[in-house]
Structure 1
Amino acid sequence: MEDSRKGIIVIAMVILGVSLQLIEVESRPQVPCFFIFGDSLSDSGNNNNLLTLAKANFLPYGMDHPNGPTGRFTNGKTTVDLIGDYLGLEDYIPPFSSVKDKEIVKGVNYASGSAGILQETGYQVGMRVSMDQQLINHKTAVLKLAKTLGKNSTTHLKKCIYSVYVGNNDWMLNYFAGGIAFFQGKPQAHSDILISKLSDQLKTLYGLGARKIIVFGIGPLGCLPILNVAGICSNYVNGVLEMYNAKLKSLVDAYNTKFTDAKFIWINTMAIVSPNNLNGLGLQVTNIPCCGVETPVCIPFSIPCVGREKYAYWDHEHPTEAANKVLAKRAYSAIKKTDVYPMGIRNLARLKLKA
């Protein structure tokens, strides 16, 4: 009996040792760099010095982030921060507004609160960096990188991960205002305009050397506290976005066929952060915000809710770190086949592309 116990202990120690080795390997950077495009869901400070209402560089925003209120529109880490953790990156990717030339080699965050696919998106709140301008900024960074790395810059860029998480404001601000149609066109027409424009933008990104691109689908905006009705998700809003997401997934499919030396993946954000899924993972409050209950955003230095780890939304428009953790984990690991298409971020990072 004693020998059996010793044998079990030895086996357990071997398994533990192997597990620790695996964790050590996974903790190393899986990619040399990470470039981030999008809106407030990914912004890490690009709006701080802009003349805009879309700012989050004050408490209680950032109260749970290691660096405090940096301009992130949540209480802690954003989804891309957490994906960076999964990729084993040593530092947070700096915003373009303050990045140093020597830092570009590891990536840049271009995302801007209230920005969108369309140039005019977000005009209601003031200055912002549109997706088109983010690509112009990326071109500037690529040119600087070329001066640093010379001929090796092209190979370096091909190994990087690129995150494109944009389109939320093109729907929320341009099309849905207070839960009703703001633009007169049918949602199908608006969807086609966005897909056409984003298609051009992804082509531009590919032309600047990107070969491993994440394209996030739009989440259930109909469940946002600012758009839901009496705490109940808007099936109309989410139905429209399901239609758009299907087109986005098809765009990813088409680009994988067109650009055989690259890989585009689509993240099923709508399903991953649905209230039902979040409820099942312990996020019990999915219809009211933790902060700014009576205002769209958090009032500076106000006191947020108690037990924020159980809340899905930080303010009326942005998720908590707890919800971001769910999206980042599922996008990276592809726990369910329906989470991603055609693969998750972990496999994208490991993928050996054609020369």
Structure 2
Amino acid sequence: MFKDISSGFVSVIILGLVITLASVPPEVEARAFFVFGDSLVDNGNNNYLATTARADAPPYGIDYPTHRATGRFSNGFNIPDLISQAIGSEPTLPYLSPQLSGEKLLVGANFASAGIGILNDTGIQFQYQQRLSALIGAEQAQRLVNQALVLMTLGGNDFVNNYYLVPFSARSRQFALPDYVVYLISEYRKILMRVYELGARRVLVTGTGPLGCVPAERAMRSRNGECAAELQTAAALFNPQLVQMLLELNREIGSDVFIAANAYDLNMDFVTNPRAYGFVTSQVACCGQGRFNGIGLCTILSNLCPNRDIFAFGIHSIQLRELTGSLLAPSSPAAPST
């Protein structure tokens, strides 16, 4: 069973990512952009796969410029779209899209797939370089990858759709939670080193958001609508160890290749104080059914909120851009120092 966590964190994670991007000097902005991860950043690869984890039908995409579902697990733009805008690039295409050819290869590619986690992401497919080399030559292809920005968004599904998917799951019987987190971090390290070996030299790595506060988890695990304690504990264990692992990797490499985009505290403030950011609620999902609109996938038969702008879990892309813009303003306390 796949539980869609994307609607819970597209808004809260992007705040930390855009703030992190704002600290990157313009002269080192990426020429290309590569995306690896789960439903938070999938922009259509699952359209080409035999899976139930799909976002290629309404109401997904209702606020996208075309008003059509694209495969993004969002009502509008998703995280990679806004990062592409921030670095002055056109959106990346899904790696499996037949449109990814010719000069489109120069923009980069999105390899993300909804439902994926650290533990089933061992086979990172990067035949992209071979296709790019055929277009511009091996030396130019390697230079493009070296200068690119890479986004890695993994980890949430390893808890939501693995360790805590069912009571007494195989992983929870195999590992106590602290040991499981250590195992995840060690496996994530292998993935990141593989990305480095492929040529990546500027890699944004996200931690998990407040997993227990997603409406789906509140609906399943809370009695009175509070955030699910066990998933919050998991995130609290995972994020600091991820940051520490990235620091160690950078020391080993001798360069700040990996950048941690871990805005957990900001995300929690966003969840606990939605009105401070212009929203009415962060407890109820914009699309779904059952308690907190948190049961099942978002489909044409789901309860769809008429105004996505006031739901923190179902944020409209235009409002998101305005919100991130205000956070990056020089007068904003959330803006990074330069």
Whether these two folds match at TM > 0.5 is yes
Report if aligned partners of 1:162, 1:212 keep a CA contact under 8 Å in 2. Answer: yes
d(CA) in 2 for partners of 1:36, 1:167: 15
Counterpart residue number, 1:200: 190
Q: 2:142 aligns with which of 154, 179, 182?
A: 154
CA displacement 1:253-302 (0-9 Å, x = unmatched)? 11111122452111124223221354421122111111112342112265
Q: Give the Cα–Cα distance (whole angstroms) in 1 for the partners of residues 194 and 255 of structure 2.
A: 15
1:45 and 2:37 aligned? no
Counterpart secondary structure, 2:45: coil
Aligned to 2:276: 280
| Matching residue of 1:251 | 245
How far residue 198 of structure 1 moved from its aligned partner, in angstroms, is 0.7
The Cα RMSD (Å) is 3.0
CA deviation vs aligned residue, 1:170-215 (integer Å, no higher than 9, x gap): 110111236x663222111111111111100100000011000000
Q: Secondary structure at the match of 1:203?
A: helix
Q: Secondary structure at the match of 1:47?
A: helix
Task: Report the Cα distance in structure 1 between the residues aligned to 2:325 and 2:244, rounded to whole angstroms.
Answer: 23
Cα drift, residue 240 of structure 1? 2.0
Gaps of 5+ in 2: 1-24
**Partner residue in 1 for 2:128:** 141
> SS at the partner of 1:73?
coil
1:21 paired residue number: none
Find the aligned partners of 1:325 and 1:226 in 2 and give their Cα distance.
Answer: 25
**2:111 is aligned with what amino acid?**
Y
> CA separation in 2, counterparts of 1:149 and 1:112?
27
Give the conservation status (yes or no) of the 8 Å contact 1:59–1:301: no
Aligned length: 296
Q: How does 1:234-313 map to 2 (within 5 A)?
A: 234-274=228-268, 275-276=271-272, 278-294=274-290, 295-300=295-300, 302=302, 304-313=304-313
Per-residue deviation at 1:327?
9.3
Q: How does the TM-score come out when normalised to structure 1?
A: 0.75
Q: 1:223 aligns with which of 205, 210, 213?
A: 213
Which letter maps to 2:234? V
CA distance in 2, matches of 1:267, 1:333: 19
Q: CA 1:66–1:303 in structure 2 vs 1: closer, same or farther (change >3 Å)?
A: farther
- The partner residue of 2:157 within 159, 163, 169 is 169
SS in 1 for 2:203: strand
Of structures 1 and 2, the one scoring higher in RCO (CA 8 A, sep 6+) is 2
Unaligned runs of 5+ in 1: 1-25, 120-130, 348-355
Describe the shift of the 1:303–1:235 C-alpha distance in structure 2 as closer, same or farther (beyond 3 A): closer
Map 1:54-133 → 2, pairs under 5 A? 54-67=53-66, 68-89=68-89, 91-98=90-97, 99-102=99-102, 103-119=104-120, 131-133=121-123
One-letter amino acid of the counterpart of residue 187, structure 2: K
Percentage of matched positions with identical amino acids = 28
Task: Identify if the C-alpha distance between structure 1 residues 332 and 85 changes in structure 2 by more than 3 Å, giving closer, same or farther.
Answer: farther
